Homo-oligomer: A and B are copies of this chain.
Amino acid sequence: MTQVEPFDLIIFGGTGDLAMRKLLPALYRRFSAGQLPSDSRIFGVARDAQSADAYRNTVEKALMHAVPDADRDALLRFLAQLGYQTLDVQTGTGWPELASACTASVPRRRVFYLATSPKLYADICARLQQHRLNGAHSRVVVEKPIGHDLASARAINAAIGSAFSEDQTFRIDHYLGKETVQNLMVLRFGNALFEPLWNAGHIERVQITVAETIGVEGRGAYYDATGALRDMVQNHLLQLLCLVAMEPLSSLQADAVRTEKLKVLRALKPIDAGNAARLTLRGQYRAGVSAAVAVPSYLQDVGKSASTTETFVALRAEVGNWRWAGVPFYLCTGKRLAQRVSEIIVSFRPVPHSIFSDTGTPVMPNQLVLRLQPDESVKLWLMVKYPNLDDLRLRPVPLNMSFAEAFGGSPLDAYERLILDVARGDLTLFMHRDEVEAAWQWIDPIVHAWAETADTPQPYAAGTLGPDAAAGFLGRESLAAA
């Protein structure tokens, strides 16, 4: 493990949920592992008028909760690097103080992490520019959602872009920081075995599933204006699709990776009013039982009497190029489903001719299953001979490339990796502005199609596999298989 250069990290929304639950624990873990230099500084920034000591107390509690086995000494040293600045983005209170706190005697990397509502991105960037905090040593990190459609995404990107160049802008999608997702690139391009098979000639279908058991969890107002398609598919699922479908990379440079992903997004065949009924399926959860607990309906969760917002969506996407022509990419995500699982299933075509039909054992097609949640693992399903003396009886066996098994140790958190990449200035695992906009360009017509057709989401009971029609829509890799 290599230490990164000293840097200052300024977290806007420093008292918020993302900062407390994800960013600060990730930073602490990298600090205690020795990857953050002891003269790096972290500033929490928020509207709350409180002292740095009070902030450190809050952070200390959050870390003790998130990292129960934290080393006391390391924790205190970490907290000592922590500062706080009360600041109002809009009125400008606190900005001069932040600017002077950020100014080190020797210029060093400054990372502004915007863990706030996207509504504030434009104002924050304008203020950073006003206070000359957007120089070459500065970077800005933004979280999804970047807009709710193409126009709003463009506006946000333009606002960020007026203060920061594209090379300074780190659009985070924490799915890309997961080991399994990076392993997908290693499997594809580090093994001569897969690439010759990685096309419509040998792959029958791809399914990307992000199933959640939770409901809208206090994000009701935001979620009801957004829905599963914009909340999950536009970013996480499409990013995973890109990594599966992209052409072989010429290098791991950010430009090379992002250009290939962009090509995939731009090659997605349009879904619009003409084909949305055939290529999409929406659902909305009703009351039901989740993890043996009775849970309310979506409408109860968001406190409305009616809503056409989808909490479940399945799409049959297609990448219109020579490699993937005709191969369905099923994208499926939903809340209040039976099981929490995120995975990519690449299903190879069946053998063209079975010589084992006489033995009475079906030859199951090969599958590569990359699981991102709850456990990270990669499994290759092969048929092998079942040991016996009578015939060639076959069995599918999962060849396991699970990380814990192969290498020991616990999985690494995506945010740890991504924050280090920001400090290092490596954009490979971050989204380019063009990607975000290309994704919206594909998503918008679907949203419009649903609005035009007045089609309403199909109901499903919480804790089930989604709407009844989902199994038929998804075909053999329905959620039940996941």
> What is the interface of chain A, defined by CB distance below 8 A to chain B?
1-2, 30, 35, 179, 182-183, 185-187, 189-193, 195-197, 202, 248-252, 256, 348-356, 358-359, 363, 365-366, 378, 380, 382-390, 392, 394-395, 397, 399-401, 403, 406-407, 409, 411-412, 416-417, 420
Per CB-CB distance, the 7 closest pairs between chain A and chain B, nearest first, are: A399-B399, A190-B383, A186-B385, A183-B385, A389-B417, A193-B366, A387-B403
- Known interface pairs A182-B385, A192-B366; A252-B355 also in contact (CB < 8 Å): yes
A351/B189 in contact, CB under 8 A = yes
Within 8 Å by CB of A401, from B183, B397, B401, lies B397
In the complex, which residue of chain B has the Cβ closest to the Cβ of A389?
Answer: B417
Most buried by B among A193, A354, A366: A193
Q: Which residues of B contact A380 (CB under 8 A)?
A: 380, 382, 399
Q: Which residues of B contact A382 (CB under 8 A)?
A: 187, 191, 193, 380, 401
8 pairs from A and B in contact (CB 8 Å cutoff): A186-B385, A190-B351, A191-B366, A192-B350, A193-B197, A250-B353, A390-B420, A397-B406
Most buried by B among A183, A356, A359, A389: A389
Q: Which residues of B contact A359 (CB under 8 A)?
A: 252
Q: Which residues of B contact A197 (CB under 8 A)?
A: 193, 196-197
- For the complex, give the distance between the alpha carbons of A12 and B184 in Å: 59
Q: Which residues of B contact A182 (CB under 8 A)?
A: 385, 392
- For the complex, give the distance between the alpha carbons of A399 and B389 in Å: 25
- For the complex, give the distance between the alpha carbons of A365 and B193 in Å: 9
In the complex, which residue of chain B has the Cβ closest to the Cβ of A352?
Answer: B192
Most buried by B among A365, A380, A390, A416: A390
Within 8 Å by CB of A179, from B248, B378, B387, lies B387
Most buried by B among A185, A382, A417: A382
A388/B250 in contact, CB under 8 A = no
B252/A356 in contact, CB under 8 A = yes
- Known interface pairs A191-B382, A193-B382; A389-B186 also in contact (CB < 8 Å): no
- Known interface pairs A384-B183, A386-B407; A355-B392 also in contact (CB < 8 Å): no
A185/B387 in contact, CB under 8 A = no
A30/B389 in contact, CB under 8 A = yes
- Known interface pairs A193-B366, A353-B250, A355-B189; A384-B412 also in contact (CB < 8 Å): no
In the complex, which residue of chain B has the Cβ closest to the Cβ of A414?
Answer: B389
Q: Which residues of B contact A390 (CB under 8 A)?
A: 1-2, 420
CB distance from A33 to the nearest CB of B (A): 8
Q: Which residues of B contact A202 (CB under 8 A)?
A: 192, 196
A190/B401 in contact, CB under 8 A = no
- For the complex, give the distance between the alpha carbons of A394 and B187 in Å: 10
In the complex, which residue of chain B has the Cβ closest to the Cβ of A183?
Answer: B385
CB distance from A435 to the nearest CB of B (A): 19
Q: Which residues of B contact A248 (CB under 8 A)?
A: 353
Within 8 Å by CB of A392, from B252, B349, B399, B409, lies B252
In the complex, which residue of chain B has the Cβ closest to the Cβ of A363?
Answer: B190
Q: Which residues of B contact A417 (CB under 8 A)?
A: 389
CB distance from A48 to the nearest CB of B (A): 31
- For the complex, give the distance between the alpha carbons of A407 and B356 in Å: 20
